[in-house]
Amino acid sequence: MNRKTLPLLVAALAALPLLSSADTVVEEIIARVNNSIITRSDFQRSKEQLKEEIKQQDPSNQGKTYEDKEKDVLRDLIDRQLLLEKGKDLGITADTDLVKRLDEMRKQMNLDSMEDLEKAAQSQGVSFEDFKQNLRDQIITQQVIGREVGSHLNITKDEEQRFYEAHKSDMEQPEAIRLSEILVAVKPSAPPTPAADPAAPKAASASTPTATVPAVPSAPTDADVEAANAKAKDLLDQIHKGAAFEDVAKKSSDGPSAAQGGDLGYFERGKLSKELEDRTFAMKAGDITDVIRTKQGFVLLKVTEHQKAGVPTMKQVEPRIQDALYYEKLQPALRAYLTKLREDAFIDIRPGYIDTGASPNQTKPIETASKDAGAKNLKKKKKMGVF
């Protein structure tokens, strides 16, 4: 079963700071994971980031929530590094996916180029190279989890039905519609007219300097309004002849949602003007309005979904149920997988720090007289890069 998103654990892992190479000792090392290290600064940054995430999610209960999650910070750092190393073993580079993800972000932010995206990152005090590396690591960890854990999960129809029956009351929903828009703005055809400078003298010689005054935008004429109306009608005609609404929106809409194919999201009753509500709530999914005059110009609205009030049918919410069951099963399966990765790795924790994900079968290489143990430790040392 393919899943585009992963649970909170994965999101937390992906956002954590990069680990340092083992041959670059910058400061106090608190853990070694094969040939990588985790420094005290990595650990402290992760705790500060956790505080910020909790502050945004639940400002009223920060203390207790942080106390519950703070103990797992080192575990999550180790988890992330183990998944990255597994990705390397599997030959996952994420190069193509990184380019796609960056381009999606650029479009969502309505930026013209990757250079603009880089400037946006730098304006937030973020190194673009670090930003890309963290995003690459996020993609790699997601792909490893999807391939090594998620692909082995199985959800039956009986499980889906039981979940539906147990959560019916939670699924009750108000009537709502999802709208998409194509906006044709009314644009004045005449160029801006120079504004008179009230401080300027009535008459001046050719040599007298004058102040620069911003031009005043021209008001749209009746012809401008009619031109916008005609364009909107032409776009509607293209759609009636078979053009996809979303494609026309991306190409021709003047609205801020153009890059998303005109998608405006969901609206419950009472969220739209009375005129628009009466018109759109009477429509079925897939219906498109005629041209509507608004303050911004002329719009076409498409009802992409019409959600009825009450409890949806099993078929309507089946994808949501599958996602819920998938994540429910993924958490313990992922933890078991990470435990196995620990047992095959060399992990050395500085005294005073605790890995809450440690396995009782975990070992670290030490000199021993046992032939079998010595061979096992030698293998781990090679993985660590000692030999």
Note the pLDDT tens digit of each residue in 197-256. Answer: 555 555 544 444 555 555 556 778 889 999 999 999 999 999 999 999 999 999 999 999
Asked if the structure places residue 196 within a domain, the reply is no
Residue 257 clears pLDDT 70, i.e. is over it: yes
For residue 237, the model assigns a pLDDT of: 97
How many residues comprise the chain?
387
Amino acid at 371: K
Would you place residue 59 in the very low, low, confident or very high pLDDT band (cuts 50, 70, 90)? low
From 307, 336, 359, the end of a domain falls on 307
Rounded CA-CA distance 90/88 in Å is 5
Exposed, middle or buried, 263 (CB in 10 Å: 0-12/13-18/19+)? middle
pLDDT per residue over 11-36, tens digit each?
A: 434 444 444 444 444 579 999 999 89
- Which pair of structure tokens corresponds to residue 320? 């949501």
Among residues of the chain, what percentage have pLDDT more than 90?
64
Q: Compute how many other C-beta atoms are within 10 angstroms of the C-beta atom of residue 348.
A: 14
Would you place residue 362 in the very low, low, confident or very high pLDDT band (cuts 50, 70, 90)? confident
Looking at the structure, tell me whether residues 268 and 291 fall in a common domain. Answer: yes
The predicted model scores a pTM of 0.64
CB 195 within 8 A of CB 210: no
Domain count within the chain:
2
Would you place residue 7 in the very low, low, confident or very high pLDDT band (cuts 50, 70, 90)? very low
**Residue 369 backbone dihedrals phi, psi, to 5 degrees:** -85, -15
Asked if the structure places residue 92 within a domain, the reply is yes
Looking at the structure, tell me whether residues 143 and 60 fall in a common domain. Answer: yes
Residue 182 clears pLDDT 70, i.e. is over it: yes
CB 373 within 8 A of CB 338: no
For residue 199, the model assigns a pLDDT of: 54
Looking at the structure, tell me whether residues 181 and 129 fall in a common domain. Answer: no
Amino acid at 28: E
For residue 310, the model assigns a pLDDT of: 93
Higher pLDDT, 285 or 58: 285
Residue 2 clears pLDDT 50, i.e. is over it: no
**Residue 174 backbone dihedrals phi, psi, to 5 degrees:** -80, 165
Looking at the structure, tell me whether residues 31 and 152 fall in a common domain. Answer: yes
Asked if the structure places residue 99 within a domain, the reply is yes
Looking at the structure, tell me whether residues 276 and 350 fall in a common domain. Answer: no
pLDDT per residue over 36-46, tens digit each?
A: 999 999 999 99
pLDDT per residue over 370-383, tens digit each?
A: 445 455 555 555 55
CATH number at residue 288: 3.10.50.40
Tell me the average pLDDT of the chain: 84
Would you place residue 126 in the very low, low, confident or very high pLDDT band (cuts 50, 70, 90)? confident
Asked if the structure places residue 260 within a domain, the reply is yes
Asked if the structure places residue 94 within a domain, the reply is yes
Looking at the structure, tell me whether residues 33 and 110 fall in a common domain. Answer: yes
148-155: long-range contacts at Cβ-Cβ below 8 A with a sequence spacing of 24 or more? 148/86, 148/90, 148/337, 149/330, 149/333, 149/334, 149/337, 150/1, 150/3, 150/326, 150/330, 151/1, 152/333, 153/1, 153/326, 153/329, 153/330, 153/333, 155/1, 155/322, 155/325, 155/326, 155/329
For residue 326, the model assigns a pLDDT of: 96
CATH number at residue 326: 1.10.4030.10
Looking at the structure, tell me whether residues 25 and 151 fall in a common domain. Answer: yes
From 273, 307, 341, the end of a domain falls on 307
Looking at the structure, tell me whether residues 362 and 251 fall in a common domain. Answer: no
**Residue 298 backbone dihedrals phi, psi, to 5 degrees:** -120, 135
From 286, 307, 328, the end of a domain falls on 307
294: domain range?
176-191+215-307
- Give the per-residue SS3 of the chain: CCCCCCCHHHHHHHHCCCCEECCCCCCCEEEEECCEEEEHHHHHHHHHHHHHHHHHHCHHHHHHHHHHHHCCHHHHHHHHHHHHHHHHHCCCCCHHHHHHHHHHHHHHCCCCCHHHHHHHHHHCCCCHHHHHHHHHHHHHHHHHHHHHCHHHCCCCHHHHHHHHHHCHHHHCECCEEEEEEEEEECCCCCCCECCCCCCCCCCCCCCCCCCCCCCECCCCCHHHHHHHHHHHHHHHHHHHCCCCHHHHHHHHCCCCCHHHCCEEEEEECCCCCHHHHHHHCCCCCCCECCCEECCCEEEEEEEEEEECCECCCHHHHHHHHHHHHHHHHHHHHHHHHHHHHHHCCCEEECCCCCCCCCCCCCCCCCCCCCHHHHHHHHHHHHHHCCC
Looking at the structure, tell me whether residues 74 and 135 fall in a common domain. Answer: yes
Asked if the structure places residue 286 within a domain, the reply is yes
CB 58 within 8 A of CB 8: no
Looking at the structure, tell me whether residues 103 and 122 fall in a common domain. Answer: yes
